[in-house]
Amino acid sequence: MPGPVRRLSARELLVLVGDLRPGTSAYRALADRIRLLITDGRIPAGTRLPSERELAAVAGRSRTTVVAAYRSLRESGHVVTRHGSGSLAALPAPGTPQGRPDRGVDFARAVPPPVEGLEEILAEVSARMVRALEGPGFDLLGNEALRQAIADRYTVRGLATSADQVLVTMGGQHAISLTAHTFLSRSDLVLVESPGYPHAYEALRRAGARLVTTPVTTDGWDVEHLLGSIRRLRPAAAYLIPDFHNPTGASMRPQDRARVAEAARAVGTVLIIDETTADLGIDRAWDDGPFARHGHAASPGSGSGVVTIGSLSKSVWGGLRLGWVRADASAVRRLVQARPAGDLGTPQLEQLLGERIVRALPELLPRRRELLRAHRAALSAALARHLPRWHAPWPDGGLSMWVQLDRPGSSALTSVCEARGLSLVAGPRFSVDGTFERFLRLPFTSPVADLDAGVRSLAESWELLSSRRPLGHRSRMPEMV
Ligand SMILES: Cc1ncc(COP(=O)(O)O)c(C=O)c1O
């Protein structure tokens, strides 16, 4: 005889769920948190959950949000609804097609959902959007209010910045590409990390650069190699991602930043510091502020030094297409002059919204952190469950894990997975020379239910590969971000 059904009141459930703020993906955040609680046993299977109506009332949420969250939980098999007994927590039966490959689990793109709270900002700002209709509606430098908001944030974080040191772009990628095309000449040597961010490699190469590499692992940089390369090769530029590096998740220690900045200053190497991922800390014990603090300490007032790339894509939402370059005012003027060859400016509509968002970052970022924390835990649990022989170091921030496989085969695995509807980017894509067959970048940005289903599918594909059946499928390059 089964025992009496345990019942969870709305109040008890909300205590377990934690802070519930309104926002764009509120239903998804609620569903993900409940799913995680069920998966890790804090809500035992069989527990009767509060009714949708009760939960909505006690949480002060719209009924639609709670109904959508329960629907998502039902679809993933974490809630079963029985007439007469309400909604019961459940563990999906093995093989339950939750987050099915046929729905296309996406491990190719490290694209998080819109940050919680963005919807309200949109609603609030929309009334003021008409102001964007006053002028031409786009501009090369960026509107004054947004540049001031970005500059203020740097200043608050320890790097005194004025609005004339900021140029607004259409995302971080645009900022990298514009920087490369403006400051590099054909055949210039540029030092890049390996592994590193592939679209930066492409932008730098397209600007004529010859790439040389310095190694990074999940434990961080080989700083002596990096310093030695700068001193010996005297590259025109070095492109680095010092916070929550894509794909390893590593962060460069503050004392090493100072040494790198000094070595670059000594030989005239421009540091292109990509801080697109810098606001994605989950539980890193320290925050050293913007990297360029070191550049400025080492070369006060110098025209060369550090060009910082920023973006709202990962911390807020990729759909905004808002990024920026922070550099010396003279460098910003050069960027403005060079820009029309590629595009004629950033739309005002996005910029109006952007100003409000940048000013709200101190409230938005903790929400982003909580989402990443839950998703990282879900991916880690799924890997431990389905692929225990893979080595998956736990990053303290960022959007992905740089996973070491138990044998080389990343590209072949990607082909098998693709044939089964699972998008993946093989390790070698993150290298300049085709290495890293033993590695895979796994983003934890998909919905939590999809993460477990995706890793299960990954494990099945890995198994299939070891049985060496013919693939019968030609690989294409998935879109990766
Ligand atoms: C390190 C890094 N820089 C830049 C970008 C591009 O960002 P955006 O979407 O703002 O163009 C990405 C996106 O994945 C990234 O990981």
Ligand 1 atom at minimal distance to the Cα of residue 111: 14
Whether 303 has a pLDDT exceeding 80, the answer reads no
* Statement: residue 372 has pLDDT above 50: yes
Condensed to tens digits (0 to 9), the pLDDT of residues 377-436 reads 999 999 999 999 999 999 999 999 999 999 999 999 998 888 788 999 999 999 999 899
Reported as a pLDDT band with limits 50, 70 and 90, residue 469 is very low
Q: What percent of the chain has pLDDT over 70?
A: 91
Tokens of 197: 């961010």
Stretch(es) of the chain classified as CATH 1.10.10.10: 10-96
SS (H, E, C) the chain: CCCCCCECCHHHHHHHHCCCCCCCCHHHHHHHHHHHHHHCCCCCCCCECCCHHHHHHHHCCCHHHHHHHHHHHHHCCCEEEECCCEEEECCCCCCCCCCCHHHCCECCCCCCCCCCCHHHHHHHHHCCHHHHHCCCCEECCCCHHHHHHHHHHHHHCCCCCCHHHEEEECCHHHHHHHHHHHHCCCCCEEEEEECCCHHHHHHHHHCCCEEEEEEEECCEECHHHHHHHHHHHCCCEEEECCCCCCCCCCCCCHHHHHHHHHHHHHHCCEEEEECCCCCCECCCCCCCCCCHHHHHHHCCCCCCCEEEEEECCCCCCHHHCCEEEECCHHHHHHHHHHHHHCCCCEEHHHHHHHHHHHHHHHHHHHHHHHHHHHHHHHHHHHHHHHCCCCECCCCCECCEEEEECCCCCHHHHHHHHHHCCCECCEHHHHCCCCCCCCEEEEECCCCHHHHHHHHHHHHHHHHHHHCCCCCCCCCCCCCCC
Q: Which atom of ligand 1 is nearest to the CA of 241?
A: 1
Q: Give the right CATH number for 102-114+367-466 from 3.30.2180.10, 3.20.20.70, 3.90.1720.10, 3.90.1150.10.
A: 3.90.1150.10
What tens digit of pLDDT does each residue of 221-252 get?
A: 999 999 999 999 999 999 999 999 999 999 99
Find the 92 Cα to ligand 1 centroid distance in Å.
35
Length of the chain: 481
C-alpha 433 to ligand 1 mean position (Å): 21
Q: Are strands 210-217 and 189-194 parallel, antiparallel or unpaired?
A: parallel
Closest residue to atom 2 of ligand 1, CA basis: 276
Instruction: Tell me the pLDDT of the chain averaged across its residues.
Output: 90
Instruction: Round to whole Å and give the CA distance between 224 and 209.
Output: 23
Which range has the worst mean pLDDT, 29-43, 114-128, 180-194? 29-43
Architecture of the domain spanning 10-96: Orthogonal Bundle (1.10)
Q: Is 388 exposed, middle or buried, given 0-12, 13-18 or 19+ CB atoms closer than 10 A?
A: exposed
Ligand 1 pocket test, candidate residues 314, 317, 399, 441, most atoms within 8 A of CB: 314
CATH number attached to the domain at 118-361 = 3.40.640.10
Q: Where in the chain is the domain with CATH 3.90.1150.10?
A: 102-114+367-466
pTM of the model: 0.79
Which residues, judged by CB distance below 6 Å to any ligand atom, belong to the binding site of ligand 1? 110, 171-173, 197, 241, 246, 274, 276-277, 311, 313, 318, 323, 481
pLDDT in tens, 393-402: 999 999 999 9
pLDDT category at 302 given cuts 50, 70, 90 is: very low
- 276 Cα–ligand 1 center, Å: 6
Q: If you measure from the C-alpha of residue 200 to the centroid of ligand 1, how many angstroms do you get, rounded to a whole number?
A: 9
Q: Which regions of the chain carry the CATH code 3.40.640.10?
A: 118-361
